[in-house]
Amino acid sequence: MPLFKKCRDFHLVKDVKEMGIYPYFHELESKQDIEVIMEGKRRIMLGSNNYLGLTVHPEVIEAGVKALEKYGSGCSGSRFLNGTLDLHNQLERELADFVGKEDCVTFSTGFQSNLGIISAIAGKNDYVFNDRENHASIYDACKLSYAEIIRYKHNDMANLEKKLSEVPLEAGKLIVTDGVFSMSGDMCKLPEIVELAEKYKARVMVDDAHGLGVIGEGGRGTASYFGLTDKVDIIMGTFSKSLASLGGYMAASNEVCEFVRHTSRPFIFSASIPPACCATALKALEIMKREPERVKRLGDLAEYLRDGMKKRGLAIRDADNKRVPIVPFYTYEQVRTLTIGKILFDEGVYVNPVLPPATTPTECLLRTSLMATHNEAIIDEALDIIKRVVEENA
C-alpha cells in the first residue's frame, strides 16, 4: 500500500545512527540545571532554554507540589467548560500586567499558542507576513488559518516593504516575527516593522518565546526592549523557557483576547494547563519580578560567553544584542557539525546542532545557550573543551 512508502524510504535517521553521530533524544536523568546527568554521565548543559535557571528553584518546585495537593494532577477539561481554575485567571492577569497589555489568554503549550492565535485572527481573505526564520509553529498556524502566507527575507525590511506594497492597502494584514530568533539569537528589527505596519495598515505580532526573561525592562521582552509595547498588537510567549513550566500565552487588547477565547479552536478544544504547571509559571513570574538581577546576570554571562568564544578563535555570528544568551558557532558542514556535537557530548558538554532547513547546508551551527545560574568557571571549562574538539576536527 502506498501510504507508508514514505516511511519505508526514510533512511536518513538510520544512516546517521549507523555513523554514530545521531544527536537527538538523549536521556536526561536529573533536573534541568547547569550540570545534568545524561545517559549516566555528567554533562555541562549549554543547550537548555531554562534562561533564568528557575526549573530547579526551591520556591518553584514547592509551588508545583502545593498545586498538585490542592487541585490534583489535571483539570480534565477545556478552559471553555470545566477547566478554568482561579490560578489560570490569576496568571493571565499578572502576565498582562507584566508585559504591559490589557488582557491575556493562556494556552496549553507554546506551539499551540501560535496555532490558536493566528488561526483565529487571520482568515482566508487576509495576509500574514512571515520572517523566513520564524518558528515552525507560526508557519503551521498560518496554514490552519487559511490566510495567504507571504514570506520576507530574514530581517530584510526593504523586502518586507516590497511585499506589503503588493497587497491591497485595505486588506487584513498581520506581520508576525520572532522577537529573538531561537537558533541564531538575532533580534527582529521591531522599530522598522512597526513603522512599516503603520504605513501599510498592518497589525504586528511578536513571538517572544526567547525574549521574555531575557531582554527588556526586568525581562519584559522585545517590545519593552525597543520601547514599543503600545505599538505591538499581540505579544505571544511560552512558559517552557524563562517561566520554568509548560504552556503559553497571548497578551493583547481585551477585544482581541475575547475574540480568541470564543473562536480559537486550538483553545476551545484543548484541556487547560495542569494546576502544577500553572502554579510554577506563576511562581517563576513572581521571582522574575522580585529578582530583576537575574536578567542582568544572564546578559553579563552572555557577553562573557561570546567574548570567550572569540578569544578561543571560534567562528561566531555577529550579534544584534550581545546580551542575548543564544550564542551559536559555525561548524559549516552537516557531517562535521554532527561529529563535533557527538564528541562534545562524549566529552561532557551538551550543545544543540542547527542543520538545514534552519541553515544552508554549508553554514551549519552548534547552538549554545545559557542560564542565569551558570558561572564563569563552568563556562570556561566548557569553552576549553569546545576549542580543543573543534581544532581536532578542523
Q: Report if pTM > 0.75.
A: yes
Confidence check: pLDDT of 20 > 90: yes
CA 348 remoteness from chain centre: 25
d(CA 379, CA 351): 13
Average pLDDT, the chain: 97
- Domain 5-51+292-392 carries which CATH code? 3.90.1150.10
List active site positions: 182, 210, 241
Q: Does the domain made of 58-290 have the CATH classification 3.40.640.10?
A: yes
- Every domain of the chain with CATH number 3.40.640.10 lies at 58-290
pLDDT tens digits, residue range 150-192?
A: 999 999 999 999 999 999 999 999 999 999 999 999 999 999 9
pLDDT tens digits, residue range 280-322?
A: 999 999 999 999 999 999 999 999 999 999 999 999 988 889 9
For 101, how many CA atoms within 13 A lie in the half-sphere containing its CB?
A: 30
309's grid cell: 568564544
Q: What is the per-residue pLDDT for 318?
A: 85
Q: What is the per-residue pLDDT for 317?
A: 85
pLDDT range class, residue 358, cuts 50, 70, 90: confident
Report yes or no: 182 and 135 within 8 Å, Cβ to Cβ.
yes
pLDDT tens digits, residue range 203-249?
A: 999 999 999 999 999 999 999 999 999 999 999 999 999 999 999 99
d(CA 345, CA 261): 44
- Every domain of the chain with CATH number 3.90.1150.10 lies at 5-51+292-392
Q: Which of 127, 118, 185 is nearest to 155 (CA)?
A: 185
